[in-house]
Amino acid sequence: MEIQVKVKPNSRTEELVREGEVFIVSVKEPPKEGKANRAVIGLLAQHFRVSRSQVKIVSGLRSRSKVIRIIQT
């Protein structure tokens, strides 16, 4: 399954909210050296109850708007 994600780095809290077809993911980490991306992957893996290796960023690696593939078995 592929989902659209909008990332909010440097947030005070970490949360995941769904607004229509888009997931809004707030993470505490800054968007440097992939820290925010790793935090987003961790939150999505926890939300969908899959391992971190089953969550991949398909597009938007350096953007706040991302497309993420979740492989569910």
At residue 46's C-alpha, the angle toward residues 29 and 59, to 5°, is 65
How far is Cα 36 from Cα 32, in angstroms, rounded to an integer? 7
Please answer whether residues 57 and 39 qualify as being in contact, where contact means their C-beta atoms are separated by less than 8 angstroms.
no
Give backbone dihedrals phi and psi of 36, rounded to 5 degrees, phi first: -65, -40
**CATH architecture, range 2-70:** 2-Layer Sandwich (3.30)
The Cα–Cα gap between 25 and 17 comes to 7
Q: 72: pLDDT confidence band, cut at 50, 70 and 90?
A: confident
What would the two tokens of residue 12 be?
Answer: 């005070």
| Three-state secondary-structure class, residue 68 | strand
Provide the pLDDT for residue 73.
76
What pLDDT, in 10s, does the model give residues 14-67? 999 999 999 999 999 999 999 999 999 999 999 999 999 999 999 999 999 999
